[in-house]
Amino acid sequence: MTQWWQWSGEAGAGRGGFAVIGVGRFGSSVCAELLRAGAEVLAVDNSQRAIDELRQIDPAIEARVVDCTDEEALRAAGVLDLETVVVAMSEPIEASITATLICKDAPGSRVKQVIARATSDLHVKMLQRVGADRVVFPSKMMGRRLGTELVRPNLLEQLRLDDRSCIEEIKVPQAFVGHTLRDLNLRKHYNVNVLAAGPAGQLQVNPPASHVLEEGELLVVIGLEEALRNLPGS
């Protein structure tokens, strides 16, 4: 059985579309998960072959061949108009550093968050110095998992039961605050069941329908992964 893993609460703050720079194995996994969640995605890569392979995942994806170290090329492609950019390429190191710097510092850039992939501790330091908001190692965070985190920032932990079903611990979405579990009727409206609810460290298992969800509380829910993705994301 897959073990519990934990999200970082910082990712996913921007919901105004995502750009993925570099669509090798890691980058294409990020794209696939973002697309599966219905997010707006723009993918760019120096290689036509990489773009063609990405289109096999989804022929309709917005994907372009772009010099990822050229500020004007990234601007023209629309990368600098999106709120979150994943710099998924790692080599050459100079290219990932340059792309990160452009996204953070280019005049008129609307990018609010850059998540960059690194291959070494030195690479991490260099990416942080040019403004990366977060640096990940593919060995520690696979592309699919990062993609899920970006579109579901309130997801704290997940336990996969099989290929279709999960148990998840989430922060109570803002849309649920102040409502009772009876009012929300998550089983009817989202096809998920509530296992526990309450403040962190004080979860009540099988809470009564009269329980009012408060801001900052947690929910533990079970259901099909597709149904869980349809819960409000923040």
How do strand 18-21 and strand 165-171 relate by DSSP bridges? Answer: unpaired
How far out from the chain centre does Cα 69 lie?
24
> Which of 156, 218, 221, 153 lies closest to 187, judged by CA?
221
The answer to whether 152 touches 12, Cβ cutoff 8 Å, is: yes
Alpha-helical runs (H) found in the chain: 25-36, 48-57, 71-77, 93-105, 121-129, 143-151, 181-184, 186-190, 225-229
Asked whether residue 194 carries a pLDDT value surpassing 70, the answer given is yes
Query: Tokens 């969640």, residue?
Result: 37
- Give this prediction's pTM: 0.65
Structure confidence by residue, pLDDT tens digits, 12-31: 333 468 999 999 989 999 99
172 band by pLDDT with thresholds 50, 70 and 90: very high
Contacts 24+ apart (CB under 8 A), 123-128: 123/90, 123/93, 123/96, 126/93, 126/97, 127/87, 127/96, 127/97, 127/100
Residue 140: its pLDDT value, please?
Answer: 56
